[in-house]
Amino acid sequence: MARVIIIGDGPGGLSAGLFLARGGHQAEVFGQDKTAMHYAFLNNYLGVPAVSGTDFQRAARRQALEAGATLRDVAVTRVGAGADGVEATLESGETATGHYLILSEGKNPVLARSLGLAETATGAVQVDAEGRSSHPRVYVVGRSARPTRSQAIISAGDGAKAALDILAREAGKDLQDWDRPPQG
C-alpha cells in the first residue's frame, strides 16, 4: 500500500484522494476548505445539476471520506524529500511522510515553486498528461498546472488521472476504477 500526501482540498485534491482510497492506498488530503469553489455556482459540471460550489464541496468531501481518504484540516508549510520519498511539514511542526506527493494548491502553487519544479513559459507548473512534474514522485494537478484555464471538472479529472497513474505504478500495470450497477 502506498502512502500519498495530497495537498489541497478543492476538486483536484479530493478527486485524487477518492481514487487512491478506492484503489486501496492511504490517501491523506491536507486543506482547510478554503477552495475557490466557495465563490462558484456550477452550471457546467457535466452530469451534475446546477449546484453551489459549497454544496458540491460538501458532497465531494463526504464521498472522499466514505471511500477511506483522510481529510486533515491543517495547512502544510513545507515539502521536500523524506525517508519514503516525500515529506510534508504541517503548521503544527508535525511531519507527514509518503511515497508520493500530489500538489493541488490552486492558483498559488507556493509549495510546487519551493521544490523548483519546471515551469512553462507562462509560469504554470509543467506537467505531463498524467500530472507528473519534473520530480519523479511529485504530481501537480488542477488550477496550479493551468491557471488561466481553470474549471472544476478539469481539476477533478486531473486528480483522477494522477491517482490512476500512481495505481498503475504501484501495480505494475494499468488499472481502471470501474463499477457496475448493483444487481437485483
Q: Around Cβ 26, how many Cβ atoms within 10 Å?
A: 16
Residue closer to ligand FAD by CB (options 85, 131) is: 131
Residue closer to ligand FAD by CB (options 38, 177) is: 38
Residue closer to ligand FAD by CB (options 138, 170) is: 138
Give dist(CA 52, CA 41) in Å, integer: 4
Hey, what long-range contacts does 109-117 have (CB within 8 A, 24 or more apart)?
109/140, 109/144, 111/7, 111/76, 111/78, 111/79, 112/138, 112/140, 112/144, 114/78, 114/79, 115/79, 115/80
Q: Which three cell numbers stand for residue 81?
A: 524529500
Residue closer to ligand FAD by CB (options 7, 96) is: 7
Task: Give the residues across from 5 on adjacent strands.
Answer: 28, 101
Task: Compute the least distance from the CB of residue 66 to ligand FAD, in Å.
Answer: 19
Task: Compute the least distance from the CB of residue 110 to ligand FAD, in Å.
Answer: 7
Task: Compute the least distance from the CB of residue 184 to ligand FAD, in Å.
Answer: 37
Task: Compute the least distance from the CB of residue 108 to ligand FAD, in Å.
Answer: 7
Residues that bind ligand FAD in the complex, under the rule CB under 6 A:
7-13, 30-32, 34-37, 39-42, 44, 75-76, 104-106, 111, 142-143, 150-153, 155
Task: Compute the least distance from the CB of residue 30 to ligand FAD, in Å.
Answer: 5
Residue closer to ligand FAD by CB (options 22, 56) is: 56
